């Protein structure tokens, strides 16, 4: 079976891909995302291009492998909200999002020899109205500074929302496993229990 590489050091994406029961390795793509983030304003196109470039960065040195790249952004009122990296900006982000509806846009790219597959999942999230104390307590519980939108739905972040609309819950965490599994099977890989 062909080697599979996940072009990411994200512990969340690694844990997700492990759920498919396949063997893979993780490599950091070392992609400088700033150029694409300055150039591309459309959030769907941005995540698609970032996912593809991450996969290409690994594939160029590992031509024998199937490479998976992924990217995710939070989109609200025409703005792209990424990972804040600190609690102060996460507080501002959640204050901005509270009481409103926004989108999480998650794309992945597969490169397998001359085959390129790029897919996108859009999740619509309806956040509850929150006060400053609730936001601070949440940030203290999950420390979501490394997540687009500043929340972790797989942990306490689920309590921030009143409704979530998506085709694939795993896309919220960073990698849409339902369509990814279908694509891997179509490329000849075995996904247990098949």
CB half-sphere exposure, 192, CA atoms < 13 A: 7
Q: How far is residue 53's CA from residue 47's CA, in Å, rounded to a whole number?
A: 10
In the set 32, 42, 71, 168, the catalytic residue is 71
66 neighbors 44 (Cβ within 8 angstroms): no
Structure-token pair, residue 22: 């396949």
Helix, strand or coil, per DSSP, at residue 26: strand
Is 89 tagged catalytic? no
d(CA 149, CA 160) in angstroms, rounded, equals: 12
Q: Which long-range contacts (CB under 8 A, 24 or more apart) does 49-52 make?
A: 50/107, 51/107, 51/108, 51/109, 51/118, 52/109, 52/111, 52/116, 52/118
Supply the residues annotated as catalytic.
Answer: 71
């Amino acid at each position: 079976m062909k080697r599979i590489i996940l072009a990411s050091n994200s512990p969340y994406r690694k844990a997700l891909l492990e759920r498919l029961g396949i063997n893979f390795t993780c490599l950091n793509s070392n992609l400088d995302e700033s150029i694409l983030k300055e150039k591309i304003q459309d959030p769907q196109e941005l995540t698609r291009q970032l996912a593809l470039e991450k996969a290409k960065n690994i594939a160029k040195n590992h031509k024998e492998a199937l490479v998976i790249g992924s990217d995710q952004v939070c989109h609200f009122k025409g703005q792209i909200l990424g990972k804040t990296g600190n609690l102060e900006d996460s507080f501002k982000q959640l204050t901005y999002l509270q009481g409103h509806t926004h989108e999480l846009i998650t794309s992945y790219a597969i490169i397998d020899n001359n085959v390129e597959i790029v897919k996108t999942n859009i999740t619509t999230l309806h956040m509850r109205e929150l006060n400053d104390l609730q936001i601070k307590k949440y940030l203290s519980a999950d420390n979501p500074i490394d997540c687009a939108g500043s929340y972790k739905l797989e942990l306490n972040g689920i309590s921030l929302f009143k409704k979530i609309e998506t085709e694939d819950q795993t896309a919220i965490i960073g990698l849409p496993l339902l369509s990814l599994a279908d694509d891997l099977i179509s490329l000849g890989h075995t996904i247990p229990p098949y």
